[in-house]
């Protein structure tokens, strides 16, 4: 029987903290901990030295180490930061299997590099070049033993368990190595302290007591981990780039020249039956990225859409003009980086029909006015009528809208105003004595409103009916917050207005027409 | 089944096919149930209105039936009220500030078909209005202008609004009743009293409350 390839495990300890500190721009030696639900899940060596431990509550951890940097748990960030590590290892050896962020296994490339220790040395050296300094390696016949060896290796070193040595190595480990808290507690109470003691138990008895789960644990304890590496397929390179030699100076020329690249970008995704819904466009001038922006599309990007977006972006950010006389550096390179790629839906089969016509019509207006001048209204939660609606540029997906389901105390009861002024009009409201009505700090109105005008260029009219003041208690804890009150006012012409009073100043916020 | 009954079915089917084959220009655009028989949006025509409520009500009728609505130069509409009336925000395109390009923008959005609402910054020249009208006719789009427009097909106005629910210092705005006046060319004015209730819906209370002298044919759509 052909011997199974030996397994090498690379372990970067406290990966969550390492990834979070790098992203937060903190120094590596700063005590830091990652928390989930106010409980420390991972902390780094500096924090451990101050007594911070896993499972500790936030305030206990802060009490032990006041300068502790508290970072939020983010599984996506951990995985994202681990990606460069995987890429480096994939360049050096085949069959890389990420186990979880911070831990990966490879089929040991000892045959190529000489022996296991030399291979590990090469990997550690290359990882150091991308800033991953603390790597522990372990090499053994099976995955479990290799992982345990890596956890016991010194930083930057490789602990090699000789071929066939797994049972001996594993038998000396405490049962805590299994990382199954419930089982470990039970084994301890049964008097089983090491994996060796567990391995000595008859396999049939362990299976009878713990079922298949126990049988698997027993296999691990015997140093015979049956799991095979499931190497990942390296992700395809989807970024497309085009370089211009000599640099192009006008937007028209760039738009014309990137068309082939944009088509290739869309086609390579289409070949995988995928479409891009969010893309990052970058343009370089004199070797520097001067214009970078992320665009989203309601459906997906076609080559035309990409070229359009690039033109708008260059016109807005890079200071390029269609005027060839202007002095500026030319565009050297343009890059299309897909950010969100989704499986292509089936709705392309019969063609968009009316939808495509709409897209074309809107694209014409966008070309005339700029992409953000064509918007789609959206509703969101909020208290004032203006807060309850939002503009979303055509082609982008709504994001960051406040939920409408919440109660929003203090919002104006229906009917909703048909006119919501983007810029409130300065208004004037006089009380019976002919002076400007005002609301005191305690919310009392100086006098009953008698006459008003919703904007300065309209005529004064008597107040027919009114209600208020309705205090607006928003962000009262912030500095510079104002005490505002709202009124509904109906004029003699029968039109109703929603007015805002800031002590003695009045604004018309919305109209009921 | 008798031969006459078959013939009757055949006739009705033929009528239906004729109806489908007719260009969109002939079919009136859908309006809110409360406005049927009173207001009819003819594709390819421009209408003048004088209030935001009417703009939204006319958009809502078409939008409810799945037509696209575009809004030019009206950045101040209340979209919550629009949704309550039945405007589908997913099929709405808004250009809040078209600046000096409002004619080009309107012309481009007419291509989307459905209904286009416009608030022109000034009075449109007759020549521009003719160009827009030609586009409207070719696309079967209706134009609603809040303001003035040369030679509109009809003029709609909302007058004598009365609010209920608000007192002097107490209560809140609840329901409004108003009289809708429809003028079409030199024809007689038509009136109807509308009730715009708190949940944003519109219902018709009395038709032709103060009908002008002379009989008004109910069948004449305006």
* A416 contacts B200? CB cut-off 8 A: yes
Confidence of residue B212 (pLDDT cuts 50, 70, 90): very low
* Residue B169 clears pLDDT 50, i.e. is over it: yes
**How many contiguous H segments (helices) and E segments (strands) does chain B have?**
5, 10
Contact flag A368-B168 (C-beta cutoff 8 Å)? no
Helix (H) or strand (E) holding A365: helix A354-369
Q: Mutual orientation of helices B102-110 and B126-139 as an angle, nearest 10°?
A: 20
Q: How confident is the model at residue A351 (pLDDT cuts 50, 70, 90)?
A: very low
Quote the pLDDT of residue B215.
39
pLDDT(B86) > 70: yes
CA–CA min distance B118, chain A (Å): 14
Chain B residue numbers with beta carbons less than 8 Å from the beta carbon of A375 are 93-96
CB contact B10 to A (< 8 Å): no
Q: What is the pTM of this model?
A: 0.62
CA A294 to chain centre: 13
Which secondary structure element, helix H or strand E, spans residue A107, and what is its range? Answer: strand A103-107
**B76 and A421 in contact by Cβ < 8 A?**
yes
| Residues on chain B touching A358 (C-beta within 8 angstroms) | 68, 93, 112
CA gap B85, B52 in Å, rounded: 12
Q: What is the pLDDT of residue B202?
A: 85
Strand order in the sheet with A32-36: A39-43, A32-36, A69-72
- Cβ–Cβ below 8 Å for A466 and B168: yes
> What residues contact A404, with CB distance under 8 A and at least 6 apart?
A379, A380, A381
Nearest by CB to residue B97, choosing from A360, A373, A448, is: A373
Of A365, A375, A377, the CB nearest to B108: A365
Round to whole Å and give the CA distance between A341 and A274.
7
Nearest to A394 by CA among A427, A414, A372, A417: A372
* Nearest neighbour of A418 by CB, restricted to B53, B89, B109: B53
Instruction: Give B129→chain A minimum CA distance, Å.
Output: 19
Whether ipTM tops 0.85, in short, is no
CB B207 within 8 A of CB B38: yes
Looking at residue A319, its pLDDT comes to: 59
Which pLDDT belongs to residue B211? 46
Q: Which residues contact A216 (CB under 8 A, 6 or more apart)?
A: none
| pLDDT value at A505 more than 80 | yes
Nearest-Cα distance to chain B for A506, in Å, is 17
Residues within 8 A of A (CB atoms), B 31-70 only = 51-53, 56, 68
By the 8 A CB rule, do B90 and B96 touch? no
Helices and strands counted in chain A (H then E) = 15, 20
**DSSP code per residue over B50-62:** -SHHHHHHHHHHH
Closest Cα in chain B to A421:
B76
Starting at the earlier edge strand, list the strands of the sheet with B202-207.
A389-393, A375-379, B92-95, B69-72, B115-118, B142-146, B46-49, B154-166, B171-183, B190-196, B202-207
Residues 6+ apart with CB under 8 A from A311: A251, A254, A255
Instruction: Using a CB–CB cutoff of 8 Å, tell me whether B156 touches chain A.
Output: no
Interface touch A365/B96, C-beta < 8 Å: no
Query: From the list A358, A362, A466, which residue is nearest B169 (CB)?
Result: A466
* Nearest CB partner across the interface for A374, out of B84, B95, B171: B95
Question: Over the stretch A353-364, which tens digit does the pLDDT of each residue have?
Answer: 557 778 878 888
- How far does A134 lie from chain B, in Å, by closest CA? 52
**Is any Cβ of chain A less than 8 angstroms from the Cβ of B203?**
no
Q: Tell me the average pLDDT across A307-324.
A: 71
**Is B202 touching A (CB cutoff 8 A)?**
no
Q: For chain A, what percent of residues have pLDDT higher than 70?
A: 94
Task: Write the pLDDT tens digit of every residue in B47-75.
Answer: 999 999 999 999 999 998 888 999 999 98
Q: Which residues of A touch B158 (CB under 8 A)?
A: 513
Q: pLDDT tens digits for A459-481?
A: 999 999 999 889 887 777 777 66
Q: Provide DSSP, B112-148.
A: T-SEEEE--SSPPPHHHHHHHHHHHHHHT-EEEEES-
Contacts of A362 in chain B (CB under 8 A): 93, 108-109, 112
Q: Which of B108, B135, B193 to mutate to test the interface with A (most CBs of A within 10 A)?
A: B108
Q: What pLDDT score was predicted for residue B19? A: 63
CB contact under 8 A, B200 and A379: no
Which residue(s) pair with B159 in the sheet? B179
Does the pLDDT of residue A413 top 90, yes or no? no
Count the alpha carbons within 13 Å of B180 in the hemisphere toward its beta carbon: 31
Q: Which positions 82-111 of B are in contact with A (Cβ < 8 Å)?
A: 82-84, 89-90, 92-99, 101, 104-105, 108-109, 111
Question: How does strand A96-100 pair with strand A103-107?
Answer: antiparallel
**pLDDT of A323 higher than 70:** no
Q: Is the model's pLDDT at B23 over the cut of 80? A: no
Confidence class for position B2, pLDDT limits 50, 70, 90: low
- Asked if A415 lies within 8 A of B163 by C-beta distance, the reply is no
Chain A CB contacts of B174 under 8 Å are: 415
What is the pLDDT at residue B217? 42
Mutant choice from A363, A377, A425 vs B, greatest count of B C-beta within 10 A: A377
pLDDT, mean over chain A: 85
- Mean pLDDT of the A54-61 span: 91
CB atoms within 10 A of CB A458: 15
Predicted confidence at residue B1, as pLDDT, reads: 53
Decide: A42 and A58 in contact? Cβ < 8 Å: no
Q: Count the Cβ atoms, other than its own, within 10 Å of residue A50.
A: 14
Does A354 contact B78 at a Cβ distance shorter than 8 Å? Answer: no
Residue A328 to residue A489: CA distance in whole angstroms: 56
Least CB-CB distance to A494: which of B77, B81, B163? Answer: B163
- B166 lies within 8 A of chain A by CB: yes
Residue contact A417–B96, C-beta within 8 A? no
Give the residue-averaged pLDDT of A106-128: 89
| Per-residue pLDDT, A4 | 61
- The pLDDT assigned to A366 comes to 83
pLDDT top residue among B210 and B105: B105
Which region among A123-132, A244-253, B205-214 has the lowest average model confidence (pLDDT)?
A: B205-214
A356, A365, A497, best to mutate vs chain B, most B CBs in 10 Å = A365
Mutation for testing the B interface, residue in A359, A361, A417 having most B CBs under 10 Å = A361
**Residue-level pLDDT at A347:** 53
* Mean pLDDT value across residues B185-212: 77
Point out the least confidently predicted range of A210-219, A264-273, A351-360.
A351-360
| b/e A235-254 (16+ beta carbons within 10 angstroms → b) | eeeeebebebeebbbbbebb
């Amino acid at each position: 029987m052909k011997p199974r390839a030996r397994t090498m495990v690379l372990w970067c300890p406290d990966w969550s903290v390492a990834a979070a500190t790098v992203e937060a721009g903190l120094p590596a030696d700063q005590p830091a901990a990652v928390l989930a639900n106010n409980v420390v899940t991972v902390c780094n060596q500096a924090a451990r030295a101050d007594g911070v431990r896993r499972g500790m509550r936030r305030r206990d951890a802060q009490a032990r180490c006041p300068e502790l940097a508290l970072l939020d748990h983010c599984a996506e960030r951990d995985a994202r930061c681990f990606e460069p590590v995987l890429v480096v290892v994939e360049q050096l050896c085949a069959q890389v299997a990420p186990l979880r962020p911070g831990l990966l296994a490879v089929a040991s490339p000892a045959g190529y590099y000489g022996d296991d220790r030399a291979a590990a040395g090469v990997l550690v050296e290359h990882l150091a070049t991308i800033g991953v300094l603390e790597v522990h390696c372990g090499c053994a016949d099976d995955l479990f033993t290799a992982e345990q060896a890596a956890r016991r290796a010194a930083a930057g070193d490789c602990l090699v368990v000789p071929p066939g040595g797994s049972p001996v190595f594993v038998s000396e480990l405490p049962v805590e190595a299994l990382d199954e808290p419930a089982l470990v507690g039970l084994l301890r109470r049964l008097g089983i302290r090491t994996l060796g003691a567990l391995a000595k138990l008859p396999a049939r008895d362990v299976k009878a007591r713990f079922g298949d789960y126990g049988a698997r644990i027993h296999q691990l304890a015997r140093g015979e981990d049956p799991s095979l590496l499931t190497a990942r397929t390296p992700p395809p390179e989807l970024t497309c780039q085009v370089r211009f030699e000599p640099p192009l100076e006008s937007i028209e020329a760039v738009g014309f020249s990137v068309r082939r690249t944009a088509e290739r970008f869309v086609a390579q995704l289409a070949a995988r039956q995928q479409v891009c819904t969010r893309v990052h466009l970058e343009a370089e001038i004199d070797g520097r990225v001067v214009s970078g922006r992320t665009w989203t599309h309601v459906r997906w990007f076609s080559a035309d859409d990409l070229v359009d977006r690039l033109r708008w972006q260059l016109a807005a950010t890079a200071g390029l003009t269609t005027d060839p006389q202007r002095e500026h550096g030319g565009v050297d390179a343009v890059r299309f980086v897909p950010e969100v790629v989704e499986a292509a839906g089936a709705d392309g089969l019969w063609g968009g029909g009316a939808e495509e016509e709409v897209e074309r019509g809107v694209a014409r207006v966008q070309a005339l006015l700029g992409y953000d001048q064509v918007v789609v209204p959206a509703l969101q939660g909020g208290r004032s009528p203006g807060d309850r609606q939002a503009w979303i540029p055509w082609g982008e997906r709504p994001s960051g809208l406040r939920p409408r389901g919440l109660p929003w105390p203090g919002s104006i009861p229906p009917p909703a105003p048909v006119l919501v002024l983007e810029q409130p009009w300065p208004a004037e409201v006089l009380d019976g004595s002919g002076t400007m009505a005002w609301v005191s700090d305690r919310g009392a109105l100086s006098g009953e409103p008698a006459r008003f005008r919703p904007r300065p260029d309209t005529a004064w009219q008597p107040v027919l009916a009114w209600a208020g003041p309705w205090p607006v208690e928003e962000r009262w804890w912030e500095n510079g917050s104002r005490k505002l009150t709202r009124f509904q006012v109906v004029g003699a012409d029968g039109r109703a207005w929603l007015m805002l009073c800031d002590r003695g100043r009045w604004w018309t916020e919305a109209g009921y027409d | 089944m008798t031969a006459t009954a078959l013939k009757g079915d055949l006739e009705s089917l033929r009528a239906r096919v004729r109806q489908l084959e007719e260009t969109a220009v002939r079919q009136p655009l859908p309006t809110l149930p409360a406005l049927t028989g009173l207001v009819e949006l003819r594709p390819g025509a421009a209408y003048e209105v004088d209030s935001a409520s009417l703009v939204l009500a006319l958009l809502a009728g078409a939008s409810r039936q799945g037509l696209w609505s575009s809004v030019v130069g009206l950045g101040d509409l209340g979209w919550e009220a629009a949704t309550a009336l039945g405007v589908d925000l997913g099929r709405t395109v808004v250009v809040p500030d078209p600046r000096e390009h409002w004619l080009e923008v309107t012309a481009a959005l007419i291509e989307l078909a459905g209904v286009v609402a416009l608030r022109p910054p000034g009075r449109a020249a007759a020549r521009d209005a003719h160009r827009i009208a030609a586009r409207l006719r070719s696309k079967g789009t209706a134009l609603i202008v809040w303001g003035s427009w040369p030679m509109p097909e009809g003029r709609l106005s909302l007058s004598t609004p009365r609010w209920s629910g608000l007192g002097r210092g107490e209560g809140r705005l609840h329901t409004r009743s108003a009289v809708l006046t429809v003028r079409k060319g030199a024809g007689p004015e038509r009136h109807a009293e509308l009730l715009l209730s708190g949940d944003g819906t519109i219902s018709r209370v009395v038709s032709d409350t103060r009908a002008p002298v002379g009989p008004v044919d109910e069948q004449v759509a305006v």
